[in-house]
Structure 1
Amino acid sequence: MKQQETGKLRKLSRVNLGKTGAYALAFATIVVWSSTFISTKVLLDTFTPIEILLYRFLLAYVLMFALYPRIHRPESLKSELKLVLAGLSGGSVYFLAENFALEYSLASNVSLLVSTAPILTAIVAHFALKDEPLGKPAIAGALIAFLGVGFVVFNGKFVLRLNPVGDLLALVSSASWAIYSIVIRTLDTKRSSFYITRKIFFYTLLTILPVLFFFPPRFELAACAQPKILINLLFLTLFASCGAYVVWNRVIKELGAVKANNLIYFIPVFTLAESAIFLDEPLTPFALAGAALIVAGVYVTSRPHR
């Protein structure tokens, strides 16, 4: 029975999405990721950032192992090292750098600097990938969208306080995601995307371990009995980790690292809308103008090169 289920998952992970399907799944993932800020904000009242990261990926790994229990030998040393790098760049380093950046710098600074990931991805892809050149439309669209992100993030209240440590960590987080996208784009494997995602979660957990010696978790599991805590933790595990990573890895393969990451510009737009609905945070004309700039910027970058 388990072998049949595993076979079905393998077939499902290799279904041809097509461009339309890839964009649809990409936007669904963006909506999920934009909601993680709200869930994380709720969990931070009970857990530390390190604890949230540990619980999130530990539960995600257990679930992915239950869905795809097969164990394969490494295809090659090169492919396995890429998975280690993916776990580092798309998991531990990305989230740790972002979380610690928030300890030193303003949330608006961090949000804006992390949003440079699509720009950095385009630059890295230009040199690392032959099929994703950095053209003028890509540069122009990226700048327009980034300007829009600034409008949305500051939402009419421009406060920019430079903090070298926090801002540098935010840029490290951004660069880390750019590297992750390139690694996934160049990963040549016959394995199921479920298996690949499971391995990435494993290496994320493995590379978090050294940090736990300096910031040991308290393991206050009794708090998980609270419905609010449990629901938000399960959301981060089931949707923002398991589902989103499996889908996003397929999206990168289908659209390319640059086009896929350009859609990340929409995260602050959805976060703004969700915050207005669920947290009663203000929605200003300034932010709406930023959303329009983001749409325009992504449209410019997505147009075929002539």
Structure 2
Amino acid sequence: MGKISGHILAFMSVFFWSALYVSVKIILDYLSPFELLILQFIFGYILLFMMKPKIVKLPLKEEALFAISGLCGISIYNLFLNLAIEQTYASNVSIIIATAPLFTGIFAFSLGVEKPYRNFFIGFILCIVGIIVLSYGGGEAIGFNPFGDILALISAIGWGAYSVAIVGIMNKKHNIIIATRKIIFYGILFLIPGFFIFDFKPQWQELLAPMIACNFIFIVLFPSALCFLMWNKATLLIGAVKTNIYVYLTPIITIIVAMIAIDEKLGFYGILGVILTLCGVIIGEYRGKNHTPH
């Protein structure tokens, strides 16, 4: 039952994070990437603090692991994600972010967090082929933008590192709300130098417009707070590599949401790409009877 719950939580996290790309694209017309990042995680931190208003001090070694997780999963991943979305198409970014499981696997296997297994690599190849086909069949909303693509790739590497670092935290059996809040705290802390690089002059009145307010509330409530809770719990239940396989679904969900929200089209190659990616997820998830995650 625990493993089924882990898969459900991983899927729900990826579903809401995928919808995030469209919401961020809308809000970036009114806020800069840095302004959005700071605001969404400050409000996300407040939400989690209200859920569990307790401060916990830990040994320096454990605090360092939280700091690394905050740097990779909040600061690097989200900042470069927002910058990439500003530079290129939301669907384009989602496709590149879908390479994150590769980096998770590389980090996890290299550090001995999990053992390599054949189906992961078979599933990975299928997913990458599916994502490439999807990029050609996703309609006009997908194109090539070198600068935006590099920013998205840095974001994906950051997420791969976060996904491995979080395993050490979850294995310590910390309260998941407090642990997630602490990660967000360090993420915000590492973003402070950004105030010397980026402007921070949010137009508060713009956020009161109904469409902007709804999208901002969605970003704070799910991607910035609850999704991290679900993702961290899923990692504990089924491991970093299996959890990250669901990231391959990101471009599929993003394109479907974009089709509904902003009337994007999906052609034959797009549908083929979806099928290949889904097959890759299923194969990559299966280890066989003799393989169990650490």
User: Are positions 1:80 and 2:67 aligned together?
Assistant: no
CA distance in 1, matches of 2:238, 2:188: 28
Residue number in structure 1 paired with 2:13 = 29
Residue segments in structure 1 that go unaligned for 5+ positions in a row = 1-16
Spell out, residue by residue over 1:148-185, the C-alpha distance to the aligned partner (whole angstroms, 9 max, x if none).
1222233256976473x544333221111011000011
Moved more, 182-191 or 273-282: 182-191
For residue 50 of structure 1, the aligned residue among 16, 26, 34 is 34
Q: Which AA in structure 1 matches 2:238?
A: L
In structure 1, what is the Cα distance between the partners aligned to 2:279 and 2:214?
35
Residue 178 of structure 2: aligned partner = 195
Query: Is 1:251 aligned with 2:251?
Result: no
1:147 equivalent to 2:123? Answer no
**Deviation by residue 1:74-105 (Cα, 9 ceiling, x = unmatched):** 1x111100111111100111122223344556
Task: Find the counterpart in structure 1 of residue 202 from structure 2.
Answer: 219
Determine the structure 1 residue equivalent to 2:264.
Answer: 281
Is 1:93 the counterpart of 2:69? The answer is no
In structure 2, C-alpha distance between the alignment counterparts of 1:30 and 1:283, rounded to whole Å? 20
If the length of structure 2 is used for normalisation, what is the TM-score? 0.91
CA distance, structure 1, for counterparts of residue 61 and residue 254 of structure 2:
37
When residues 236 and 162 of structure 1 are mapped into structure 2, their CA distance, relative to the original with a 3 A threshold, is: closer
- Asked if 1 retains the 8 angstrom alpha-carbon contact of 2:127 and 2:277, the reply is yes
- What is the alpha-carbon distance in structure 1 between the residues aligned to residue 133 and residue 32 of structure 2? 30
The answer as to whether partners of 2:9 and 2:234 remain within 8 angstroms in 1 is yes
The CA distance in 1 between the partners of 2:123 and 2:109, in whole Å, is 16
**Preserved CA contact (<8 Å) 1:54 1:205:** yes
RMSD: 2.0
In the alignment, does 2:3 pair up with 1:19?
A: yes
Give the counterpart letter for 2:185 in structure 1: F
Note if contact 2:92-2:143 (Cα within 8 Å) is conserved in structure 1. yes
Instruction: Give, in whole Å, the separation in 2 of the partners of 1:136 and 1:189.
Output: 29
2:45–2:184 CA contact under 8 A, matched in 1: yes
The reply on whether 1:61 has 2:45 as its aligned counterpart is yes
Over 3 Å counting, the alpha-carbon distance change for 1:84 and 1:270 in structure 2 is same
Q: In 2, are the aligned partners of 1:152 and 1:272 still within 8 Å (CA)?
A: no
Matching of residues 284-299 of structure 1 within 5 Å: 284-299=267-282
Q: Which moved more, 1:24-33 or 1:57-66?
A: 24-33
8 Å Cα contact 1:137/1:301 also seen in 2: yes
Which residue in the other structure is 2:150 paired with? 168
State whether structure 2 residue 167 is matched by structure 1 residue 185. yes
